[in-house]
Amino acid sequence: MQATREQVLDALSEGPVAGPALADRLDVSRAAIWKHVEQLREEGFEIDSGDDGYELVSVPEFGASAVAYGLEAPFEIEYHDSIDSTNRRARERAAEGEGDVAVLADEQTGGRGRLDRAWASPSGGVWLSLALRPEVPIAHAPAFTLAAAVAVTRAAREAGVNARIKWPNDVVVGDDERKLAGILTEVEGEADRVDWVVVGMGINVNVDPSALPAAADATSVQEAVGPIDRRVFTQRLLEEFDALRRDLDAVVPAWRADATTLGKRVRVETPGGTVEGEAVNISFPGALVVDTGEERVTITAGDCEHLRPA
């Protein structure tokens, strides 16, 4: 049997465990154990070697190994200290036929929002894009944006930030609804079945507000509650998203529960013109229903502004 890195890591986390004993238990050579330990140390795992053997002392702060360690969701993590855009890279992985890949970066140099807008992505954020290959019609793709918004909101709440969702793709904080996160979903495929979906989530986590565009009304987790453990935050986010994407019918009710848009007066700039009225509902897979006073309009895409009550 081949001793995997995970088996060694599990044993060390329950340590201390002597190298020879572990080699026997996993039925590999002592040299193989030693190689794994050295490799884990290179990846940033702190491993003590005392009289009783090896023991895991700490895991790396952030990165592929850090996020993969103990993650209860089936994503392969690809990490970059710096990259142009995790969505660009995830599209590339998806186009190669891969799925369930999470591309993660500390910094993006060419982060993108909708309509090719720039997305500021300084070091300290969680810039994450998932390459997915779900068996759904293309029309259902917006449900993944909603699922991501719910997952980000839940992970932020767990970190102590009172986050809410603003239709269609923003996560906001506070009465002034400053933007904590944005989501960019891209799809390729045929009408009856997508080839792939890339869900990009940009969350201002350990980011100083001065590093964010002043005009954007942005905020960060750091501004709200101080710096947090990005490893744990990313794991919670991936686990929440994984649960939601498996049950897309549950996404809309979950979204409603976390939304700040419903019940508000809104002005939505859509490709077909401006719609103003009360946001009364959201319908699967993610359309906003606005009551203009004369009629109910169902909007599938647009930029939404919350207005003061009339």
Site residues, ligand BT5 (CB under 6 A): 85-87, 108, 111-115, 117, 119-121, 127-129, 169, 179, 182-184, 200-202, 204, 212-213, 216, 218
By C-beta, is 134 or 200 nearer to ligand BT5? 200
Measured from the CB atom, the residue of 48 and 303 that comes closer to ligand BT5 is 303
**Residue 224, H or E segment:** helix 221-225
In the complex, the smallest distance separating the C-beta of residue 124 from ligand BT5, rounded to whole angstroms, is 11
Q: Which of 89, 71, 94 is nearest to 79 (CA)?
A: 89
For the chain, give the longest Cα–Cα distance: 79
Nearer to ligand BT5, 125 or 277 (CB): 125
For ligand BT5, which is the closer residue by CB, 84 or 291?
Answer: 84
Give the nearest distance from C-beta 130 to ligand BT5 in angstroms.
10
Nearer to ligand BT5, 134 or 182 (CB): 182
Nearer to ligand BT5, 11 or 152 (CB): 152
Angle formed at CA 265 by CA 263 and CA 271, multiple of 5 degrees: 115
- Please state the closest distance from residue 41 (CB atom) to ligand BT5, in A: 30
Q: What are the backbone dihedrals phi and psi of residue 121, each rounded to the nearest 5 degrees, phi first?
A: -135, 65
For residue 217, count other CB atoms closer than 10 A to its CB.
12
Task: Check if the beta carbon of residue 185 is closer than 8 Å to that of residue 197.
Answer: yes
> How near is the Cβ of 178 to ligand BT5 at its closest, in Å?
8
Min. distance of Cβ 65 from ligand BT5 in angstroms?
21
The amino acid at 251: V
Gap between the Cα atoms of 4 and 104, Å rounded = 24
Rounded to whole angstroms, the Cα distance separating 77 from 180 reads 23
Q: Which residues pair with 187 in a beta bridge?
A: 197
Q: How far is the CB of 115 from ligand BT5 (least distance, A)?
A: 6
Tokens standing for residue 37 = 């330990």
User: Minimum Å distance from CB 90 to ligand BT5?
Assistant: 8
When the beta carbons of 27 and 96 are compared against ligand BT5, the nearer one is 96
Residue 174 in tokens: 């506070």
Residue nearest to ligand BT5 (CB): 182
What is the C-alpha separation between 104 and 44, in angstroms, rounded?
17
